[in-house]
Amino acid sequence: MFVVFEGADNVGKTTQVKEVADLLRNVYDKDVITTRAPGGTHIAEAIRTFIHTLNVDVKDPVCTMLMLTAQLEQVNAIIKPSLTDGKIVLCDRYIYSTYVYQGFITIADEYTRIDADKTTNTCKLFDVFKAMVNALLAPNLVIYMKASADYLIKREIDLKTKGHVEIPEVWKQGADEIGALWERSINTPFKRSLVNDYDRLFHLPNLNHYIKEINHFGTTFRTINVEDKSIPDITKLITDCILDFK
């Protein structure tokens, strides 16, 4: 069984992948493997590190190509072999995050608006990206961990001030007070647009419109609102979704 955890930054995906895996192993005696996208193999992790060390726009076509390459490596080297062995695969992010972060939603909208000959550079690139997406594997279950932008921004501030998340250098320049950090974060359009794009994508009619290359006929989607819920409560909700999957 292939399960994907999705959602915006600071929603708690990585924590839940670990907690759910531990619960499935220790309480329900399941054979579970965890991985993350991009990453999981030496090649995919190297690509991930390379991208994160570059000062480039995440929507740069080269960045997108590298992200998709890492995901294909992960699918072929980890996910498919693990599923063949009968394991449950829990993946922290997948192609859905690529669509949000690399701007595929915007590109897809443009793709449907322009002339039928599809000859613009944007559309030529999009055709290449779609061919790579077509080689990916459809999950059995996708858990969308949903929260408002205000909730996620506040959580990010809390994590940063507690030292759980590295504070970017730009935040350190004259922004020592919590209030100043809050104001800088709350007014960042990217973070709000991120949540909006996730919500658009995981509205199922939109999902089928934006990601036609993966056959989602056998995929179940579950949305879990994580606001005002404890970590154990969220873990139980997600675990129940996995155990109830048919």
Each residue's pLDDT tens digit, 28-86: 999 999 999 888 889 988 888 887 776 666 667 777 888 888 999 999 999 999 999 99
Residue 104 belongs to a domain:
yes
Single pTM value for the model: 0.81
pLDDT in tens, 232-244: 999 999 999 999 9
Q: Is 96 helix (H, G, I), strand (E, B) or coil?
A: helix
Residue 111 belongs to a domain:
yes
pLDDT surpasses 70 at 216: no
Sheet holding 2-6, edge to edge: 32-36, 88-92, 2-6, 141-146, 220-225
Residue 160 belongs to a domain:
no
Gap between the Cα atoms of 211 and 114, Å rounded: 18
Q: Look over the chain and give the mean of its residue pLDDT values, rounded to a whole number.
A: 79
**Overall domain count for the chain:** 1
Closest of 2, 178, 201 to residue 96, by C-alpha: 201
Residue 177 belongs to a domain:
no
Q: Is 103 helix (H, G, I), strand (E, B) or coil?
A: coil
Gap between the Cα atoms of 197 and 8, Å rounded: 9
CATH of the domain at 18: 3.40.50.300
64 is in which domain, residue-wise?
2-148+196-243
- What is residue 167's predicted lDDT score, i.e. its pLDDT? 46
Q: Are 241 and 145 in contact (CB under 8 A)?
A: no
